[in-house]
Amino acid sequence: MASSDDVAIVGIGITSFARSEKSGMDHGVDAVRKAVADAGVGWEDMQFAFGGSSAAGAPDTMVSRLGLTGLQFINVANGCATGGSALFSAVNAIKAGMYDLGIAIGFDKHERGAFRINSKNSGLGQWYGETGMALTTQFFGMKLNRYMHDYGITEDTLGKVGAKAFRNGAMNDNAWRRQELSEGQVKESAMLSYPLTQYMFCSPGEGGVALVLCRADKAHKYTDTPIYLNAAVVRSRRFGSFEVFSRHLAPEWSAGPTVDASKAAFEMAGMGPADMDIAQLQDTEVGAEIMHMAENGFCEHGEQERMIAMGETEISGRLPVNTDGGCLANGEPVGASGLRQVYENVLQLRGDAGQRQVQGDPKTAYTHVYGAPGISGVTILSR
Amino acid sequence: MANQVPVEEGLFTWPSDSPRLLGSRCVDCGNHMFPRQDDCPKCAGNNTQDVELKNKGTLWTWTIQGYPPKSPPYVGDVDPKTFEPFGVGYVELEDELKVEARLTLNTPEQLKIGMDLELVMIPLCTNKDGDEVVTFGFGPAD
């Protein structure tokens, strides 16, 4: 039973992640309206907000559209963990006893094509972008190429993960890419950054998500199906880890922020990987999903080859992964992705995921984001 | 032959017939860094000295940039009709570090983890003064 200092999610809102004429801020505002309605409350009931966006404006300006209620509204920008950081901050505001009811918001809208990186502002030097190395896609290709070499992951497995994402996305009304693609179509699309093809990568996109949170002991005021947040953790990189935009790597090796965040989250929740019924794992590209299965403790390195061949990560499998189609089918609006994963887990734990509902009455669910400049966020939910 | 200029001062010795990458070594803990920096992320000290890094190494991992990068920031050829895919990899310089660099090889058939490579200069573009802008990269060792 949840104690009074635990936190529950009592309202959820999401917008369609399909490309549209909407602004990023429109996505944020729409998601907030849906989330407060889902909790059966109004914007004026929100005591605080943490809002995250990396490319779509200052989140707190949305009060001019939602209502000037005077609430504490704090903007969060933390690279690819922006949404996760907004959630982490909201959870702690409640845990600290400062507030009973508030909202975490994440939204974004990016230009088409690969992310344009200002390497000078990122502290990498102007030459890094000028010489054609400031591309996130190169990191993912290089990390995966070495991983396949070390652990025997094959191109067929890359194709299978892509096909699964688009199969799941086809069952998600809010997904951007809703057309199923075969393993062959995924493998044979244009080679962007070896060994990764066009349909093995997610694309920068748009969307918004909001989550209404409250003190767990008050959750039943708002909903019959509160979902409890057992852990929310954000970690940055340690010396020796292999991260996006590393101009050099040390001879030493450390496992990276995902491993650290995962361990800390399991410890905080008092659970382990075997206790998780569903996992949403950062799938910037198909290899990321594969590598993150092991980095989050769900298998040994290399074991993914067999697990994926056996269909264990399908919605019908032992450990369903990325049940809403992940970033591959939903795109990557940086501020929104982490909260999209949590939204999907809340739907699944409520039993409201429709066609893509995981069977067997799931009770626990895991989310993981990873991104620049070497940052990871993990949550564990239960009902 | 056009005059050659480095994409940025301080990345490698220039002018030079046999350029070397310019890095830093932490005097306190021995950690190597590229490009040069004053602080050491390993021991959190700030006692570093400039060093010329080894110009030969082995390929640790690689990819191939298959589409034109966005310009800006990229200054090389971005015309889809003439763009040539280029290799990018981490090259392990023994006892120093793995440096991220462009590669002169650009096909999966040519690129193998563990292969021997050496430092070369790679032309990027011609600047407004008519000079050829070059950056560092690695190609097959003799």
CA gap B111, A146 in Å, rounded: 12
Q: How far is the alpha carbon of B79 from chain A, nearest alpha carbon, in Å?
A: 14
Find the domain containing A254 and state its range: 7-112+202-382
pLDDT band at A5 (very low <50, low <70, confident <90, very high): low
CA gap B79, A117 in Å, rounded: 19
- CATH number for the domain including A244? 3.40.47.10
A197: its two tokens: 């093809």
Does residue A2 register a pLDDT over 70?
no
Number of domains making up chain A: 1
Chain A residues with CB under 8 Å of B96 CB are: 251
Give the strand order in the sheet containing A72-76: A72-76, A48-52, A101-109, A206-215, A7-14, A227-236, A375-382, A364-371, A278-281
Residue with the two structure tokens 């490009």: B35
Chain A residues with CB under 8 Å of B69 CB are: 114, 132, 134-135
CA gap A90, A101 in Å, rounded: 9
pLDDT tens sequence across A86-112: 999 999 999 999 999 999 999 999 988
Contact B65 A138 (CB under 8 A): yes
User: According to the model, what pLDDT value does residue B129 have?
Assistant: 93
Backbone phi, then psi, for A84, in 5-degree steps? Answer: -60, -35
A334: its two tokens: 């940086």
pLDDT band at A81 (very low <50, low <70, confident <90, very high): confident
Contact B11 A127 (CB under 8 A): yes
Does residue A224 register a pLDDT over 90?
yes
Q: Is residue A47 part of a domain?
A: yes
Q: How far is the alpha carbon of B136 from chain A, nearest alpha carbon, in Å?
A: 9
pLDDT tens sequence across A19-73: 999 999 999 999 999 999 999 999 999 999 999 999 999 999 999 999 999 999 9
User: According to the model, what pLDDT value does residue A1 have?
Assistant: 39
For every residue of A195-211, DSSP letters joined together read TEEGGGB--B-EEEEEE
pLDDT band at A217 (very low <50, low <70, confident <90, very high): very high
pLDDT band at A4 (very low <50, low <70, confident <90, very high): very low
Q: How far is the alpha carbon of B25 from chain A, nearest alpha carbon, in Å?
A: 12
* Nearby residues of B88 by Cβ (< 8 Å), 6 or more positions away: A132, A133, A138, A142, B62, B63, B64, B65, B100, B101, B102, B103
Domain locations in chain B?
56-140
Average pLDDT over residues B5-11: 95
User: According to the model, what pLDDT value does residue A121 have?
Assistant: 73
Contact B33 A192 (CB under 8 A): no
Q: Is residue A130 part of a domain?
A: no
Question: Best interface-test mutation with B: which of A110, A116, A124, A127 has the largest number of B CBs within 10 A?
Answer: A127
pLDDT tens sequence across A147-197: 999 999 999 999 999 999 999 999 999 999 999 999 999 999 999 999 999
pLDDT band at A279 (very low <50, low <70, confident <90, very high): very high
Share the mean pLDDT of chain B.
Answer: 96
**DSSP run (H or E) holding A130:** helix A126-130
User: According to the model, what pLDDT value does residue B1 have?
Assistant: 62
Share the mean pLDDT of chain A.
Answer: 95
Q: Are B106 and B64 in contact (CB under 8 A)?
A: yes
Three-state secondary-structure class, residue A121: coil
Average pLDDT over residues A280-303: 98
User: According to the model, what pLDDT value does residue A3 have?
Assistant: 46
Neighbours of A364 (CB within 10 A): 19
Q: Is residue A163 part of a domain?
A: no
Q: How far is the alpha carbon of B54 from chain A, nearest alpha carbon, in Å?
A: 14
Contact A247 B99 (CB under 8 A): yes
pLDDT tens sequence across A341-373: 999 999 999 999 999 999 999 999 999 999 878
